[in-house]
Structures are given as structure tokens and as C-alpha cells.
Amino acid sequence: MGYEKYFSEEHNIFRQQVRNFVEKELAPHAEEWEEAGLFPREVFKKMGDLGFLGLRYPEQWGGSEGDYWYTVVFNEELPRCLSAGVALGIMVQTDMCTPAIVAHGTDEQKEEFLAPAIRGEKIGAICVSEPGAGSDVKALRTRAVKDGDYYVINGSKTFITNGTRADWLTMAVKTDPDAGYGGISMFLFPTDTPGFSVTRKLDKLGNRASDTAELAFDDCRVHKKYLLGEENKGFYYIMEGFQFERLAGAVGIVAGAQLLLDKTIEYCRTREVFNKPVSRHQANAHLIADLATELEAAKALVYHCADMVNKGENAIREVSMCKLFTGELACKVADRCVQLHGGYGYMEEYYAARAFRDTKLGTIGGGSSEVMRDIIARMMQL
């Protein structure tokens, strides 16, 4: 509906390539990977071989140097794998743990971490949240104390997607505990560092095909060459990265909600109640019309934000609005779609049940809805 202007023929060809891969190589395994609680490491390698993991990144490191609309296409097609956990694990690689390396990493760091991440040979994780600090980044307690050419890191992290098998972490730590936001630094942390351990794989409500972990750091000595960017500038790098993380998430959230609604409409057209299809009952038809309308509005907001980011504009306010609106709307769509399925919507054999569980993360991960409202209010000078 007027969005054609954003996509070239090359974008459309790429969309079909991603869709073919996702539907043929990933979707058939969704149930298996959900039950296993993990999808195979080889998925990263296959996607790397196809050039899917470095769409916006420099060719020097194996990327494609595409515009942001390639990221939009990719994240719109990922939900067709029918497992939000798989989509999340991949998105961490493409839009969460690597952007800061591109923006602030040294050539040596890019060679060691970015290039193999783009090839799908190394798996990364973004590592900010702790048992006592999530949205309140300044409350981080994991410490990095300088000792000659090394930093000694102690502390713990939690809710880390890809955490059980990550080869490295893009990690926020306190380097100056008395400086609040100004005392945070970012490190690229190799997980074969002595003293590092995965203390627990977390059992989640949804997104079950992705691994989420608690991590511990016990006197981990990390060379200063792994400091990402400047010391004590980590908070600004985190905020910068959130713009990409939240927008990428919103793209996938809207696409996933639309996919769920489309599947629900198909069901409602074939399932009969009181001698006519569910969709022919006016109350249901009007409900579906409302959901379709709200999703169209959400897509317009997503594309507006994507256009701003693609032009290099500061979109923090708009992306925060986008994250808030799409996350809350997707939960509404999931709830109504389960209801439209009736008793079958409560059965795990139907996609609606899994989508209902998976969707809730959109209002929590990457900054909760409450935090988004706070950011928007501050930027409105309220």
C-alpha cells in the first residue's frame, strides 16, 4: 500500500531468496527445535554462506554494504520460520551484538569477531542485563578493573540470548563504579577466557528454540585490545545500538503479527460455527477488520522509522514509539487470534498457541513498554 517506493527490484529478488530459504530450510524444523530448546549451530553457517548475516556491513569484512531496506526485508521474512526463537537468535547476530563493532571496533577486532560472525562461523551475544540491572543500565555491577595490559572482570549477566553457545560477547561492564552512566565500558569478550562459565540455561515462557542463559565471570583476565571504543563511553554505544535493535525487533514483530492474522483468517474461513464460517459472523469479521487496520498503521510507523534510519537521521524518539506500539499491538493480535480459533487456539498443535507465548517478549525485551514510555515522555520534555 504505497510502500513500493522503498524497494528496488534487487530488494524484491532478495526477499524471495530469504523467503525460500526460511520456508524450505527452517520452517519444517520448527516443532523439532521448539521441543529441543535450541536450533542447530549450522543454521548460522548456512545463512552466512548465503550472505544474510552482514547485509549493511562493509565488504571488507564480508558484508554486502546494502541499505537499511535489506534489513527490513530480512526481518520481515524471518517470522516465516514459524519459530520466534530462531528469528531472535539470528537477529541477535545481525542487529544486536555486531553493530557496535562496525561503528567503534578496530580492524583487529573486526577481523577476529565481525568477519567470522558475518560468515556464520562464530556466534555472538549482546550482554547487558544482570540479575539486578536491566533497563536501568547505570545499575550494572559487573566490574572490569585495569591491571597492566589487562582488565579483570567479575560479575554476572542474565537473560542473554545465544548465551549458552556464544563464541564472544559484546558486553557492558562498569569501569568506573562512581561515575554512573559515565562509568560504563564495552568489551568484546571471548568466551574461552578462563573464569567464564554458563551457570544456567533459562526455561522460558516462549521463544523456546533460542537459548537464554545466566553467565558468570570470576577473575576473567581480558586484554586491553578487547576494549570496544573508548573507556567509559559504553553507555552511549548501548543507546546508539538500541536504535537498531528496537527497530529490527519492531519490523519482525509486525511481520509476525501479520503472519499470525493471515493464518487465523484462513482458519476462520474454513471453520464453521452455527452453519457458517467463523469469518462470516459479523462480530468476528469486524474484529479482523480492526486488527488488519491497526497492523497497517503499525507497518506505516515501522517504515517511517526505517526511512529515517536509512537516511542517517536520529530516530530515537520515533523508534521508541515504534517499539512501544508494535509490541503492545502484537500482544493484542495474538490474544484475539487465539480467541478466534476457539478451543483449538489453546492447543499447542496450532500455530496460534505458540505465537501467543512468543509475542509477549516484544513488550519486555530490548527495553520494556514502560521504559519506552519514559523515553518518549522525556523527549517530549514532560
The alpha carbons of the chain give a radius of gyration, in whole angstroms, of 21
Residues constituting the chain: 382
The widest CA-to-CA distance across the chain, in whole angstroms, is: 79
CATH of 125-234, one of 2.60.120.260, 3.40.1160.10, 2.40.110.10, 3.40.50.720: 2.40.110.10
Say if residues 194 and 221 touch (Cβ distance below 8 Å).
yes
Distance CA 194, CA 289 (A): 56
Which amino acid would we find at residue 353? A
CA atoms within 13 A on the CB side of 299: 20
Topology annotation, domain 4-122: Butyryl-Coa Dehydrogenase, subunit A; domain 1 (1.10.540)
The SS3 call for residue 172 is strand
CATH assignment of 235-379? 1.20.140.10
Distance CA 276, CA 211 (A): 43
Those residues with Cβ within 8 angstroms of residue 223's Cβ, 6 or more apart along the chain or in another chain: 149, 150, 151
Q: Profile the chain (382 residues) by mean pLDDT over runs of 10 residues.
A: 89 98 98 96 98 97 97 98 97 96 98 98 96 77 96 97 98 93 96 98 96 98 98 92 92 98 97 94 97 98 97 94 98 98 94 96 94 95 94
Measured CA distances, 360 to 134, 194, 205, 207, 334 (Å): 17, 36, 9, 10, 9
pLDDT at residue number 225:
98
Secondary-structure percent of the chain, ordered helix, strand, coil, rounded to 5:
60, 15, 25
pLDDT at residue number 187:
98
Q: Where are the domains of the chain?
A: 4-122, 125-234, 235-379
pLDDT at residue number 1:
62
pLDDT at residue number 239:
87
The catalytic site residues sit at 245
β-sheet bridge partners, residue 124: 168
0.75 surpassed by pTM:
yes
For residue 353, the tally of other CB atoms under 10 A from its CB is 18
E-strand spans in 39-141? Answer: 124-127
Helices 68-77 & 282-310 angle (0-180, nearest 10): 150
Distance CA 151, CA 145 (A): 5
Distance CA 362, CA 248 (A): 11
